[in-house]
Amino acid sequence: LALNPNALVPVIRDGDFVLWESNAICRYLAASAGRSDLLPDRPASRALVEQWMDWQATELNNAWRYAFMARVRGSPTHSDTNAIAASIRDWNRHMATLDAALERSGAFVTGATFTLADVVLGLSTHRWFMTPLAARPTLPAVQAYYERLTLRPGYRAHGRNGLP
């Protein structure tokens, strides 16, 4: 609570600087390390990465939250079957949006190269595959993306690590 008024993780401290919110932390770490391969310097390229990161945080995460809390966390306050079904439908619809983007790009969400957007979307993709869902559509581009990400040692260790 002393570091994050929301009493949530993640939160980082870098000297006297404290930052919370996972995507803000990702941006900060990439920028601090000079990783323009992950967070491009060119405004248009950077905006595309940030667009997908913001979409993940606002649209995709809001879609999965209720179903995830019910199916994975077993939250008693998330037991409304209609709300679970609606969350799963929205989650699948958003994953179909990602599938279409990946089909167009042929590799990663913003194009041929791995970016910070793929860090956050890769975690969301893993969560989608690991959560027990009554109905999960076949999304070939998302499946191929998941396999492509798995070739990355960091993703195997911290993304596709068996935990939803």
DSSP letter string over 81-119? HHHHHHHHHHHHHHHHHHHHHHHHHSSBTTBSS--HHHH
H or E element in which residue 44 lies = helix 43-55
The predicted-structure confidence for 92-108, as pLDDT tens digits, reads as follows 999 999 999 999 999 99
Tokens encoding 140: 């070939």
Peptide bond into 10 cis (omega under 30): yes
Q: What is the pLDDT of residue 7?
A: 86
Indicate if the alpha-carbon torsion angle 26, 32, 33, 36 is positive or negative.
Answer: positive
Burial 15-42 (b: 16+ CB within 10 A, else e): eeeebbebbeebbbbbeeeeeeebbbee
CA–CA distance, 62 with 29 (Å, rounded to integer): 24
Say what the pLDDT of residue 138 is.
Answer: 97
Closest CA to 158 of 108, 36, 150, 109: 150
Residue 135 pLDDT > 90: no
> Using 50, 70 and 90 to split pLDDT, how confident is the model at 8?
confident
Residue pLDDT, tens place only, 140-164: 999 999 999 999 999 999 999 887 7
Token reading at 21: 């919110």
What is the model's pTM? 0.92
